[in-house]
Structure 1
Amino acid sequence: MSVVEVRKVKLDLEEVWHERGPRLDQPLRVAVVTAIVKNPYAGRFEPDLLPFMQSLREFGSDLSARLIAELGGATAVQAYGKGAIVGEDGELEHGATWHEAGGWAMREALGNPLAMVPSAKTIGGVGTRLMVPLGHIQASYVRSHYGTAEVTVWDGPRRDEIAFALAMATGGRIHARLGGLAADAIQGRDGLR
């Protein structure tokens, strides 16, 4: 399999100025790109999913580039996450093909940050809503950057499709004030602290 069959791509941008506290000088920007892709394994069991996962790598790179451009460049990105919604004729493992393909693509496009890319996946029908977890790109223990990005497409995924999503944000939660490792205290050795 060398071609990913895309039906549509949706790009969402959210700007948050405040959370009932002081208004920021610059908003937190959260962008999500979601692609509705034909599931080549819908309705059947396929023992080898690796060819599909490998074919998604270039696609993941393209979607990552779109997000980074929307947010003003790689240096603006502080948090990321990924997700998949598998249509009803698929299985959860079909969504897991995005773990490596989507996560690898985002990390490469951002200069190979150290932290793992948080992820969520589910099986659902048209209009299913998925909350994708976000985390700091360099250190998973940066509590202020634990957040979510909403993934939903009004007409997808259909039974034989998968919605693959990538999310990036320019910062952490607005008015975060619950302690933990601060972003400016990251040591950058292991992706955790």
Structure 2
Amino acid sequence: MSLVMVRKVKLDMEEVFHEGGPRSSQPLRIAVATAVVANPYAGRYVEDLLPFMQALRGLGAELSERLIQALGGAGNVQAYGKGAIVGEDGELEHGAVWHEAGGWAMREALGNPKAIVPAGKTIGGPGCRVMIPLGHTQAAYVRSHFGVAEMTVWDGPRRGEIAFGLAMASGGRIHARLGGLAAADVKGEDGLR
């Protein structure tokens, strides 16, 4: 039996035209793909979580592709992040399996960008939300691309489930004007600058 049993998948998209300043001719598009899966370790301690982490790679690839299609192609993705909400019968480490599985899949789908994939995770029940941190795909020091994407599922995760999410965005914050490394100046050599 597969370790990854998906109950539902959700795709959210938002378009931001302004944040109180002038309306942008090109909206910032932020998409989140979330899968609610059964937690194979709910209610018990299991020492070796690596089989679950490896089994989740396929789910990470599927969610990555959904996001890339929603944003109109990999060339339109400038920021990314990942998140997990573990149901009450699980532990935070059950959500941490997504660091490698979701992050690896997203980076592979985007042509292996250099920057780390920011992450947020928590324990919660149905309707809980986590704000997935976003960062530039090629350089962690692009402060205009520090943002968040909301991940929530109205009926999940249930006690024995985990909601795993990936987020991608077409750019940085609308009206970003606080200096720092500009996206146009990224060298993309070390994931930092």
Give the shorter-chain TM-score range. Answer: over 0.9
Map 1:144-163 to 2 at 5 A.
144-163=144-163
Number of the residue aligned with 2:95: 95
Q: Give the 4+ runs in structure 1 shifted more than 3 A.
A: none
Q: Shift of residue 39 of structure 1? A: 0.1
Number of the residue aligned with 1:14: 14
Contact 2:140 2:191 in 1 (8 A): yes
Contact 2:33 2:166 in 1 (8 A): yes
Q: Give 5+ residue unaligned stretches, structure 2.
A: none
Q: Give 5+ residue unaligned stretches, structure 1.
A: none
In the alignment, does 2:83 pair up with 1:83? yes
TM-score scaled to structure 1, two decimals? 0.99
- Which amino acid in structure 2 is aligned with residue 50 of structure 1? L
In the alignment, does 2:122 pair up with 1:143? no
Number of the residue aligned with 2:120: 120
Alpha-carbon separation, structure 2, partners of 1:28 and 1:178:
17
Deviations 1:76-124 (A, max 9, x none): 0000000000000000000000000000000000000000000000001
- Which amino acid in structure 1 is aligned with residue 98 of structure 2? W
Alpha-carbon separation, structure 1, partners of 2:190 and 2:149:
25
Secondary structure of 2:56's counterpart equals helix
Number of the residue aligned with 1:129: 129
Secondary structure of 1:35's counterpart equals strand
Number of residues of Structure 1 aligned to a counterpart in Structure 2: 193
TM-score scaled to structure 2, two decimals? 0.99
Q: Shift of residue 189 of structure 1? A: 1.1
Secondary structure of 1:133's counterpart equals strand
Secondary structure of 1:9's counterpart equals strand
In the alignment, does 2:178 pair up with 1:178? yes
Q: Shift of residue 188 of structure 1? A: 1.3
